Amino acid sequence: MKEDITLLRKEVSTLREEFRELKQTHLDVNKHYTDTLVVLRGLTQHATESAEQAANAAEFSAQCSERCLDAAARAASVPLIEAAEAASAAASSAAQSAMESAASAASAAAATAMAVAHHAEDASAQGSSVAAEASKKAAAFAAKAVMLSNKAAEFALSARTPKSTVPVADQP
């Protein structure tokens, strides 16, 4: 009987130790999970802000392309070929900037989506939605900037192409 009690005490002691280890493991995992949530919230916030800023940059690039288009159109109507070509080049650069901004917004949206995939929290889901909308806006502005850049290039080309003239011999 004394051996049975000793054996039971040993088993209880083993169970207590295992329970302590499980409890400590649970506390460690819980702390790691909490730390990860803090990091994911920060990542979501930064990625969302980045996407919104990239969309704003794309909008400014589209506005720049629009102004360059206007400058190219005006320059093409007078003999300022270099000015038309410079405006066209500026519009092209603005369009490239808009495309880069759109890519940045898409990347930020993807990062936010990854954060949401790791932790489906309301704030993360909302951030992902904002980032996705910003990415959509940036892509639309980039497309507009490219279209305006192409029009500016057409004006520059028309400024370089000689206007049709009537030969002197054919004039009345």
pTM for this entry: 0.50
Low-confidence spans in the chain with pLDDT less than 70: 75-76, 78-80, 84, 109, 112-129, 131-132, 135, 156, 159-160, 162-172
Assess contact for 115 and 127: CB atoms under 8 A.
yes
Sign of CA dihedral 98, 103, 109, 115: negative
Structural contact between residues 33 and 52, judged by C-beta atoms closer than 8 angstroms: no
- Determine the pLDDT at residue 27: 93
The pLDDT of residue 128 is: 66
Q: Assign 3-class secondary structure to the chain.
A: CHHHHHHHHHHHHHHHHHHHHHHHHHHHHHHHHHHHHHHHHHHHHHHHHHHHHHHHHHHHHHHHHHHHHHHHHHHHCCCCHHHHHHHHHHHHHHHHHHHHHHHHHHHHHHHHHHHHHHCCCHHHHHHHHHHHHHHHHHHHHHHHHHHHHHHHHHHHHHHHCCCCCCCHHHCC
pLDDT computed for residue 23 by the predictor? 93
Residue 166: predicted pLDDT: 43
Indicate the domain borders of the chain.
2-160
Contact (Cβ atoms closer than 8 angstroms) between residue 40 and residue 124: yes
The pLDDT score that the predictor gives to residue 120 is 59
pLDDT of residue 171: 47
Q: What is the pLDDT of residue 127?
A: 64
Residue with tokens 């954060």: 115
Q: How much is the pLDDT for 86?
A: 73
Residue 91: name the closest of 164, 151, 137, 40 by CA: 151
**Gap between the Cα atoms of 37 and 83, Å rounded:** 54
Q: What is the pLDDT of residue 62?
A: 73
